[in-house]
Amino acid sequence: MERMKRGEKMNYKQTRMWDVDNWDGKEPSPPEIEEAGLCISRGEAVAFPTETVYGLGADARSDAAVEQIFAAKGRPGDNPLIVHIGERSQWQHLTSSVPDMAEQLADAFWPGPLTLIVPKNNAVSEKVTAGLSTVAVRMPEHPVARALINKAGVPVAAPSANRSGRPSPTKAEHVTYDLDGKIAGIVKGGGAGYGLESTVVDCTGEKAVVLRPGGITREQLTRVLGEENVAESAGLPQEEAPKAPGMKYRHYAPSSPLVLVEGSMHEAVKEAQREGKTVGIMAVDEHHADLQKYADVFIALGSKDELSDIAARLYDNLRLADQSRVDVIFCETFPKKGIGEAVMNRLEKAASAS
């Protein structure tokens, strides 16, 4: 197969599946990972597991390869991508400088669910960075992800492997549902662990700014840098290009409207039913007995005392809600502390009408 040319589009009658579910990273990587890595090195887009969600990866240096990602996902071009590396030394080739705070955070949390925004050099495609002067870099913890990146031999740009706006995929089956026939292949490596995308931290200013909460909590960041060195994100004016994924557009949404409810759901549910609507309820296990009788579909999110489990299953549950085909979905809210900040960030995006 020849290397792709700029502007060339790939059409697939069938997206290939490479099953490496049983590989734990301790033995030499199986031929399936080598084949998938070769596809990436040749300019194709391949989905693969990480410890956060499944990503859709392509050669971050190539405009034509990166265009495969945007085309498959239907992703807006001003939404930058995260570049994934297999070894920490590789990020020196992507940036013009590494701020001290970025080094400290990498020491503490790499490999892991943390993306660091640093000044870029010219090594990656402008399509990856959306024309910005910065690049977002992450070294994933998942052994399949790191082996694949190293076999590809290139930095890998990889957003979540779903149609843009849909709930992110935490299983290979989710990727197949969204992208079958649109990408070269899927590396099946089990379910994601954290279940939410990485935390994104801008390290280009005087303070670290959390642009997207995720698997590494704000509390963990402040323990490393000090509370005085971690700033709140100021948000993004609509007309400006986002500096990180997940800042500007509606994300993670099921097809039916999602309504977040603080406190009792009874009145909101009854009002919807008086209007003749079918109702789905997403709530914690402890509220199942009280609320299921009001719902056409009840989806148990997990125990209120195990918010990390709720986070890990959130996208799977949003997809279940989508499949229920109810007219409206009501969902409980959670305290914005620890991993709860990331959970609420995703739910608020899913409920947004913008």
Identify whether 238 is part of a domain.
no
pLDDT of 354 > 70? The answer is no
Stretch among 213-222, 246-255, 299-308 having the lowest mean pLDDT: 246-255
Shared domain for 23 and 119, answered yes or no, is yes
**Host H or E run for residue 65:** helix 63-73
pLDDT given for residue 247 in this prediction: 56
| Tokens found for residue 199 | 């935390």
pLDDT tens, position by position, 2-17:
344 444 455 566 899 9
Could you tell me the CATH number of the domain that includes residue 309?
A: 3.40.50.11030
Name the binding residues for L-threonine.
52, 84, 138, 158, 198
pLDDT tens, position by position, 173-232:
999 999 999 999 999 998 888 999 999 999 999 999 999 999 999 999 999 999 999 997
Shared domain for 186 and 323, answered yes or no, is no
Q: How confident is the model at residue 95 (pLDDT cuts 50, 70, 90)?
A: very high
Could you tell me the CATH number of the domain that includes residue 158?
A: 3.90.870.10
Shared domain for 220 and 280, answered yes or no, is no
Name the binding residues.
52, 75, 79, 84, 134, 138, 158, 160, 168, 198, 212, 252
Identify whether 150 is part of a domain.
yes
Identify whether 327 is part of a domain.
yes
Shared domain for 262 and 309, answered yes or no, is yes
DSSP code string of 309-320: HHHHHHHHHHHH
Shared domain for 167 and 211, answered yes or no, is yes
pLDDT tens, position by position, 39-81:
999 999 999 999 999 999 999 999 999 999 999 998 877 789 9
* Residue partners of 210: CB distance under 8 A and separation at least 6: 199, 200, 201, 218, 221, 230, 231, 232, 233
Report CA 348 to chain centroid distance, whole Å.
15
Name the binding residues for ATP.
75, 79, 134, 160, 168, 212, 252
pLDDT tens, position by position, 100-135:
999 999 999 999 999 999 999 999 999 999 999 999
Number of folded domains in the chain? 2
Please tell me whether the overall predicted TM-score, pTM, comes out greater than 0.85 for this model. Answer: yes
Shared domain for 346 and 276, answered yes or no, is yes
Shared domain for 264 and 327, answered yes or no, is yes
Identify whether 20 is part of a domain.
yes
Closest CA to 65 of 147, 125, 121: 125
pLDDT given for residue 79 in this prediction: 83
Domain range for 272 is 258-351
With a pLDDT cut of 90, the percent of the chain lying above it is 79
Shared domain for 149 and 275, answered yes or no, is no
Identify whether 196 is part of a domain.
yes
Closest CA to 66 of 149, 125, 146: 125
Shared domain for 193 and 279, answered yes or no, is no
